[in-house]
Amino acid sequence: MAARAKITLPSQAIAMVRFASTKSNKNVFAGLDTFPRRHNGSTGADVDLMLKQVGVKDIDELLAKTIPSKIRSPKALAISEGLPERELLERLKSMISKNKINRSFIGTGYTDTVVPNVILRNVLENPAWYTQYTPYQPEIAQGRLESLLNYQTMVSDMTGLPIANASLLDEGTAAAEAMLMTWQAGNRKKNTFVVDQNCHPQTIACLKTRAESFNINVIVTDIFGFKFEDHKKQVCGVLVQYPNTQGKVEDYEALTSTVHAAGGQVAVATDLMALTLLKAPGEFGADIALGNAQRFGVPLGFGGPHAAFFACKEEHKRRIPGRIVGVSRDVDGNQAYRLALQTREQHIRREKATSNICTAQALLANMSAMYAVYHGPQGIKDIAQRIHNLTQILAEGVRQSGHTIANDGAFFDTLAIKVDSATAVNEKALAKGINLRTLSPQSVSITLDETVTKKDVADLVSLFTKDGSAQVEAIAAKVAADASAAFPAQLHRSSAILQHPIFNQYHSETEMLRYIHHLQSKDLSLVHAMIPLGSCTMKLNATTEMIPVTWPEFGNIHPFAPVEQTEGYRLMLDELDKDLQEITGFDACSLQPNSGAQGEYAGLRAIRAFQAAQGEGHRNVCLIPISAHGTNPASAAMAGMDVVIVKCDAEGNLDMADLKAKAEKHKDRLSAVMITYPSTFGMFENGVSEACEVVHGFGGQVYMDGANLNAQIGLTKPGEIGADVCHMNLHKTFCIPHGGGGPGMGPIACKSHLAPFLPSHPVIKMGGESEAVGPISAAPYGSASILPISWAYIKLMGGEGLTQATKMAILNANYMASRLASHYEILFTNENGMCGHEFIVDIRPFGEHGIEAIDVAKRLQDYGFHSPTMSWPVTNTLMIEPTESESKHELDRFCDAMIGIRAEIQQVIDGEAPQKNNVLNNAPHSLQTMMADAWDRPYSREKAAFPVPGLRERKFWPTVGRVDDAYGDRNLMCTCPSPEEYLDEESN
């Protein structure tokens, strides 16, 4: 073997090697897996080039030209240095190990479930699913739209009602939406809503919270004893639970007829698993059905996130809250899915809305839909029947032990058991690692689920026998001899479920895996390209942040588990709470609201409660800039406020003269102003502190919408600016992924004077209960199991890293604006020509040539990008927010696409391309279009599909051509098309 030649390095090279190996590691023991350099997209020379393009020498000069000096924070964030990724996971695992995972049979709307691993790994843990945005661009979202249509079909089938939406936040808020639907159906003239006393306690509390601001009288009573004929002019509707909170299966058919005869509507809170065996609500006349889809394959997660389901009769289709996926067609006549009837939604109805629903629970709805697809109708029935059979065995064991079952002969999965001492039974249960629900000092309830084993049943039976024995084999044999169900015969389900082929062909893991990935391939997400949606902050959802979400210590905890079993959760929540207070400059925080819009509502309710406590409950005017998010006026209306719109000036700033005039005009009733900062036009307005002073001077409070908080962190704080309360979109600023339309979280932080009025909870004490407003969400900490994502982001970045991320977000936006400024008009920059973290591109000048913002948005799909926010806050514009996570390379790719499109627009302006049949208004170009035999367009296939060379190597194809929105609304179909329709489409 030949000897290796000796290599001699120059002394200068040797010095460079030594320097490179030591210069970045001052502490030899420090870990190298630091996170900020992974989170921020651009560093080093790229940052220098970007600063040069913007025309500033460094970041400090950029910030000085962007953010008013008088609102800059005087000191750095008091948040410790960021942890390396491995160390963070070790610390969180140590913390969360303090949780105790008991077998929870508490029920109350939450049960354990078996999450199929094929769904866990390929949906919940898959960034191609969880980094998608809400499917407002349907041509690049057909996969999740199909899955959500499956979800709606599943809900419609199970409930026996024709219209279902694509999910709501939770069962409690879904019940509140149902109440308001019945109120609207009564023309807002009938102000009494009757609730059965055996509904879940958190649902009743959410109803009461929502009803207060609408002056709806919620009567909680024995529904069968209420005299509806005596209240025909007052009752708009009723809510019943089926099965009820104590497990009893009631026959509500006669009650439904009575309520209808009195002119009211019937809403039924129910359980999808129970409905596989029980008569569907629609079949006994219910107008609305709702509930929690959690037990269809979604972890308990300490209360969320879970998808609430909601279905109703056809007559309510324009009242149903939230998003609806409908079937339409594209320009070539091919079947296509889209979000339907959007004129119902809060961003259209604004202050006339009774719902502020914005974020839904799309990712969880998709999981539940996949659960139904994977198991199919027979599989779901088998699961339900097994649960019921085990409950019957448990019931017989309890009877044999000499105890009485309060709902004997009328149960599905829950038993209410009379005992001498609930405390004594619970002590025995806890000793075995079991959680029961206490109904009263002399009764407990037990809810079974699909995870229950023979040992579980034996352990449960042993709690009630004198000697602790449990002969479950013998008991099972006795029960098997009597094959009848343990609920009334007239309530047995006779109608079929899940008959559509989609629920009957993907039952092997191989087929299921391929179906999931087939749908995934149709959708553009952050795994493909940046999603530059203004006001949406589509930043990195880092793998290290996401990993803990599916740890059992987070996923397998019931929201009403005893406090001593949730120490790990509470340690993590307490740290997150304190960090959010430091970041915002406030004194207290509530982690309960599980969307940004819910945070708005919670903050406004806290303001009104504070004012009422001061003897100023008459204050009910809310000033809102005309540029505000649609949720702002909707939330104010829901809080019982009169909305007064404040103008903006020609430069996009809040019109201070108009604010002062309206604040003074309404000074006796002024409750609050809602301010978004930076503004929805993407600017740090100079007058924000003055605006706060004006409102405070007239006795009002300042609510800051935290949608744009990503431009503030470490540089300024809402509390220092002058706000009294602010919500934070954790699914924007703090890295919880958007999930294709949810989940989200919208905690609020506030000054100390508002702290006593933060949301409470009827089951888990939150502190400040005497003055607190009622619950905003069904679970005490909202969607608690995704809060580790935000906790991890803060701990990974540290105070310095968070501040650097904000600086990069502002630099990225100004870099892109600078590059595009010579091609498009950039609206609303400040006196120094700078924007904040986002900016608006004006497409209006091209309207006379037949080019609209929608044409640019759809053409961007051909270039491989999701459109920026379209026609908001200014009609026929595009609002671009790049976030700090995107690299200069990706920013340049997008800018090059926009510049290329501008050249295509110029061809239309110059007459080189026609106004009505060009590459823009025919966009996007699907693969099906490109492969068609005939091509009669006045531009080449090459120009349509590959406008820039890089697309030949990496191309994301829209699945369909431009979707016909009007056709979809005129021909509303929100369940899966029939097999015949699929065949018709194939034949065409």
- Helix (H), strand (E) at residue 744: none
pLDDT score at 353: 61
| Local confidence band at 650 (pLDDT 50, 70, 90 cut-offs) | confident
| Local confidence band at 352 (pLDDT 50, 70, 90 cut-offs) | low
- With contact defined as beta carbons under 8 Å apart, do 688 and 71 qualify? yes
Q: What percent of the chain has pLDDT over 70?
A: 95
Q: How far apart are CA 651 and CA 673, in angstroms?
A: 20
- With contact defined as beta carbons under 8 Å apart, do 352 and 637 qualify? yes
Q: What percent of the chain has pLDDT over 90?
A: 88
Instruction: Report all structural domains of the chain as residue ranges with CATH numbers, in order of start.
Output: 103-524+961-987 (3.40.640.10), 585-780 (3.40.640.10), 800-950 (3.90.1150.10)
Question: How confident is the model over 954-975, as a mean pLDDT?
Answer: 88
Task: Supply the DSSP string of 908-943, one letter for each residue.
Answer: HHTTSS-SSSSTTTT----HHHHT-S---SSS-HHH
| Local confidence band at 458 (pLDDT 50, 70, 90 cut-offs) | very high
Question: How confident is the model over 61-70, as a mean pLDDT?
Answer: 97
pLDDT score at 652: 85
Q: Could you report the per-residue pLDDT of 96-115, keeping only the tens digit for each?
A: 999 999 999 999 999 999 99
DSSP-derived pairing of the beta strands 621-625 and 642-646: parallel
What is the pTM for the complete model shown? 0.95
Question: How confident is the model over 485-491, as a mean pLDDT?
Answer: 92
Q: Could you report the per-residue pLDDT of 803-840, keeping only the tens digit for each?
A: 999 999 999 999 999 999 999 999 999 999 999 999 99
Q: Could you report the per-residue pLDDT of 702-721, keeping only the tens digit for each?
A: 999 999 999 999 999 999 99
Lowest mean pLDDT among 460-474, 492-506, 604-618: 460-474
Statement: residue 347 has pLDDT above 60: no
More confident residue, 479 or 824: 824
Question: How confident is the model over 673-698, as a mean pLDDT?
Answer: 95
Task: Please list, in sequence order, all residues whose beta carbon lies within 8 angstroms of the beta carbon of residue 695, skipping any fewer than 6 positions away.
Answer: 623, 659, 663, 670, 672, 673, 701, 702
- With contact defined as beta carbons under 8 Å apart, do 95 and 83 qualify? no
Q: Could you report the per-residue pLDDT of 253-303, keeping only the tens digit for each?
A: 999 999 999 999 999 999 999 999 999 999 999 999 999 999 999 999 999
| Local confidence band at 967 (pLDDT 50, 70, 90 cut-offs) | confident
Average pLDDT over the chain, rounded to whole? 93
pLDDT score at 768: 67
Statement: residue 16 has pLDDT above 80: no
| Local confidence band at 530 (pLDDT 50, 70, 90 cut-offs) | very high
More confident residue, 872 or 266: 266
pLDDT score at 12: 44
pLDDT score at 525: 98
Task: Supply the DSSP string of 820-869, one letter for each residue.
Answer: HTTTSEEE---TTS--SS-EEEE-GGGGGGT--HHHHHHHHHHTT----E
